[in-house]
């Protein structure tokens, strides 16, 4: 199955969202990570997303963005929505890791047995507006 990242033209950013409150849902059965997906799709600079599950079944969401400002806007709006809907801050509900993708390396990824990993991450942002871990 082809990855969205294989079709994006660098540079772009990824934001990997992990639901750290596994199982937390509101009365409508919506989890904080699901709310962040809904918000992402409405944000300027959003390029798309892919989801998977980790080894322990936790949802992992990789979203793709044009620039850091777009991610910052998504995080700010998400923090407000998560706080209103769940009564906790976004940082308490999810972790977000942001990386810059500067070039696609499909051939190298395939040679290494990582089919589907179409991007080579060359820089990682460890902090964004003092909000992320």
pLDDT digit string, tens, across residues 78-119: 999 999 999 999 999 989 999 999 987 654 444 443 333 333
Instruction: Tell me, yes or no, whether 131 lies in a domain.
Output: no
Q: Which residue has the higher pLDDT, 71 or 60?
A: 71
Domain carrying residue 9: 4-125
CATH of the domain at 85: 3.30.70.100
Instruction: Tell me, yes or no, whether 25 lies in a domain.
Output: yes
What pTM, to 2 d.p., does this model score? 0.74
pLDDT digit string, tens, across residues 12-48: 999 999 887 666 777 667 888 889 999 999 999 999 9
Instruction: Tell me, yes or no, whether 130 lies in a domain.
Output: no
Q: How far is 73 from 45, CA to CA, in rounded Å?
A: 9
Instruction: Tell me, yes or no, whether 133 lies in a domain.
Output: no
CA-wise closest residue to 93 among 42, 25, 29: 25
Q: How far is 81 from 86, CA to CA, in rounded Å?
A: 8
pLDDT digit string, tens, across residues 73-86: 999 999 999 999 99
How confident is the prediction for the chain on average, in pLDDT? 78
Number of separate domains in the chain: 1
């Amino acid at each position: 199955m082809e990855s969205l990242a294989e079709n994006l033209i660098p540079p772009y950013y990824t934001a990997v969202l992990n639901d750290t409150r596994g199982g937390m849902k509101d009365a409508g059965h919506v989890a904080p990570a699901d709310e962040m997906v809904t918000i992402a799709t409405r944000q300027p600079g959003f390029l798309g997303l892919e989801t998977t599950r980790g080894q322990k079944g936790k949802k992992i969401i990789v979203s793709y963005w044009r620039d850091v400002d777009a991610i910052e806007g998504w995080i700010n709006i998400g923090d407000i929505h998560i706080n209103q809907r769940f009564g906790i801050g976004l940082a308490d509900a999810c972790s977000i890791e942001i990386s810059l993708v500067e070039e696609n390396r499909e051939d190298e990824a395939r040679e290494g047995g990582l089919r589907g990993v179409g991007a080579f991450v060359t820089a990682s942002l460890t902090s964004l507006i003092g909000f992320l871990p």
